[in-house]
A and B are shown apart, each in its own frame.
Chain A
Amino acid sequence: MSGFAKPLKIAFGLIIIAALIVVPMNFNRYGLFILSQWAVMAIAAMGLNLTLGYAGQVSLAQGAFVGIGAYAAAIMTTHGWPLPAAIVVAIGLSFAVGWVLGYPALRVQHHYLAFVTLAFSTLAFLVFRNESWLTGGIYGISNIPRPHIFGIATSKPLPFYYVCLGSLAIVSLAVWWLIRSPWGRAFMALRENPLRAQSLGVDTRRYTLMAFAIGSALGGVAGALYAPLTQYIDPVPFNLSLSLDLLMMVIVGGAGFFLGPFLGAMIAVLLPEWLRFTEGYYLMLYAIAVMGLLIWSPTGILGILDRYLAERRTKAASALRAVAKSRLEPVQ
């Protein structure tokens, strides 16, 4: 990404942010719902991107953490608690459970880890479905209120979209800071070469658990926003396919790229909507698009951009070298 000039990048970012604020103002209910969903899923995918893209730990359980956050928020807000308190609880709960889920990662890696987290995801779904005294079972929890932020009611779609967008902005800034902090460096060291990281004094054990816990906590945040967004939750959205979808978002966007989850969530949430005119075929086309993209670029959309920029830099460098060489040669 460093191929662009910095002011250009900042201007581009500001235009996108402004567009995200201004353009939806005259969207209808459904359009706002989809955009809010995009923001929520981007938060969850960003969490998974920390765990998977930066720290290299495969997790098929992010959907379960969205579920944990959603149920925490739904149960608390329907009992009269304010949403911010529910978000704090959702973060704490997902963080703690994510920490515990990190322990298997200390013993096993790769596909084994994927399957442990897959099993956890199914177990969480069973708890959501069966513990009806807490979660309402298959009937779910309805009439989840939307919060008042600074005294402003957000029950209308547009204000709540801004709540989602604002949360996405806060989470993005936090993640941006995190991956540039020594912690982020330690995560990447963990991904690239755990043994070397350890020999350099990185406490790999603690950082592995942290990578899981922080990634899961962001899943919890996404869930805590998802519940008031849909205002009704039941166990079905939080089954294994949500975890798989989130994983797909991260890989399709570009794992290990900061902007990857935004693009991945856009593809996963918006592309099926854009393809809706094809009626029954839209999910099929979506699946084909994802497969085609991954065949073309296994590192996701940002992988394409990255390759292109790297190529351009190499070309520029070799051009410079050629110039320098031609200047040197006559001296000989």
Chain B
Amino acid sequence: MSNLFDLVVAGLATGAIYALVAVGFTLLWQTSQTINFAQGEFVMLPAFLMLAAMHAGAPFWLAIILGILLSMLLLGLAFKMLLVDPMMRHGVLPLAIATMALAIGLKEAVKQFFSAEASPFPSIVPTGDVSILGHAISLQSIGVLVLAILAVFGLTALLNRTSLGHQMQAAAQNPTVARIIGVPVERMILLTFLINAFLVALASLLITPIYLAKFTSGEVLGQAAFIAAIVGGFNQVRGAIAGGLLIGVLDNLAAAYVSTQYRAAVPMLFLIAVILFRPQGLLGRAEERTV
């Protein structure tokens, strides 16, 4: 049983990171029908931006701030203006394909300009274990979980409790009416892109110390985030959070109890089952777009 407890805690920590990535993913989908196949690479890149800043001599805290700002600039603003805006009106598929190409481009750029080898990345949470109820739990898991939950709560509060959040929801649900009642829809869409960039940068900061910084590390992560978003409900922020946690735990348990060879199959089978029997997702509502 103690083993199960540890697995669930570790799974929740990874799941919380998946949730961050999945939330950003659903935000982009809701406001601009962007299926971002480069979302995993979006998580991979900020860690390298931070590493580059550190190589240039910046202290860790400054590198983090620079990394987050740069990723908001590149993965938020530039991504929207250069790729999404010109393609949005042409439908979902060409844009989705363009993000696939972007994923290749980002991977290759990091490989070429930085390194093809995995680089270690400092942790913002102190390493070591604490003992809770007789279980040794790594501080890293707890720190990741706490930070991710804080970020998600902050985002939910922003969306549900502030006027800005309400405007964003309106822009996502019904852009035409939102525009009529005076919501600056374009600015709201840009804001979701910036939020997504912030979330992926945060996820990058949290996950890279665990899995090292490597140009391919986005592949698995991007898939996990897709699955989390769909399983939870493509049109719900809380769905994406639940989906992320669920996939994190499921993945960890599958590795321990099913087989290490087929651990990746369990979330996939779960995904297929959810899509076939509850396509709106576990927490989603059918045919409705809500932030």
Contacts and interface: CB of A to CB of B under 8 A. Distances in A.
Contacts of B271: 115-116, 119
B275 A295 contact: no
B226 A284 contact: no
Nearest to A137: B261
Interface string B78-117: 0000010011001111111110111011001101100000
B147 interface: no
B275 A104 contact: yes
Interface stretch (A64-72, A75-83, A244-252): A244-252
Contacts of A248: 97, 100-101
B276 A108 contact: yes
Interface stretch (A88-96, A122-130, A199-207): A122-130
A118 B112 contact: no
B253 interface: no
Contact of B276 (A58, A104, A287): A104
Contacts of B105: 283-284, 287-288, 291
Contacts, number: 111
B37 interface: yes
B264 interface: yes
B223 interface: yes
Contact of A111 (B92, B97, B261, B268): B92
B100 A298 contact: no
Interface string A102-117: 0010011011101110
A107 B279 contact: yes
Interface residue range, chain A: 35 or more
B69 interface: no
Given A112-B275, A126-B264, A298 B104 contact: no
Interface residues of B, number: 39
A111 B87 contact: no
B261 A284 contact: no
Given A115-B230, A115-B275, A123-B268, A294 B112 contact: no
B35 interface: yes
Contact of B104 (A104, A129, A130, A286): A286
A112 B230 contact: yes
A294 B100 CA distance: 12
A256 to B, nearest CB: 11
A120 interface: yes
A294 B98 contact: yes
Contacts of A281: 108, 112
Which label, helix, strand, loop or mixed, suits the secondary structure of the A interface?
Answer: helix
A249 B269 CA distance: 28
A7 interface: no
A295 B100 contact: no
B108 A294 contact: no
A290 interface: yes
A57 to B, nearest CB: 12
A152 to B, nearest CB: 39
A304 to B, nearest CB: 13
A107 B279 CA distance: 9
Given A116-B272, A119-B271, A287 B104 contact: yes
Contacts of A118: 223, 226
Interface in B240-291: 261-262, 264-265, 268-269, 271-272, 275-276, 279
A110 B97 contact: no
A122 B279 contact: no
B268 A294 contact: no
A151 interface: no
Given A284-B108, A284-B112, A290-B98, A122 B276 contact: no
B57 to A, nearest CB: 26
B272 A247 contact: no
A58 B35 CA distance: 13
A291 to B, nearest CB: 5
A287 B101 contact: yes
Contacts of B275: 104, 108, 112, 115-116
B73 to A, nearest CB: 18
Interface string A278-305: 0011011011101100110011000000
A288 B178 CA distance: 35
A150 B115 CA distance: 51
Contact of A247 (B100, B227, B279): B100
Interface in B107-132: 108-109, 111-112
12 contacts: A104-B275, A112-B230, A115-B227, A119-B272, A120-B268, A122-B265, A126-B261, A130-B261, A247-B100, A280-B111, A280-B112, A290-B98
Given A119-B271, A287-B101, 16 more contacts: A104-B272, A112-B279, A114-B35, A115-B230, A119-B227, A120-B272, A123-B265, A244-B37, A252-B97, A287-B102, A288-B101, A291-B98, A298-B87, A298-B91, A298-B95, A299-B90
Interface of A: 58, 104, 107-108, 110-112, 114-116, 118-120, 122-123, 126, 129-130, 240, 244, 247-248, 251-252, 255, 280-281, 283-284, 286-288, 290-291, 294-295, 298-299
What 3 A-B pairs come out closest when comparing CB atoms? A287-B105, A298-B94, A298-B90
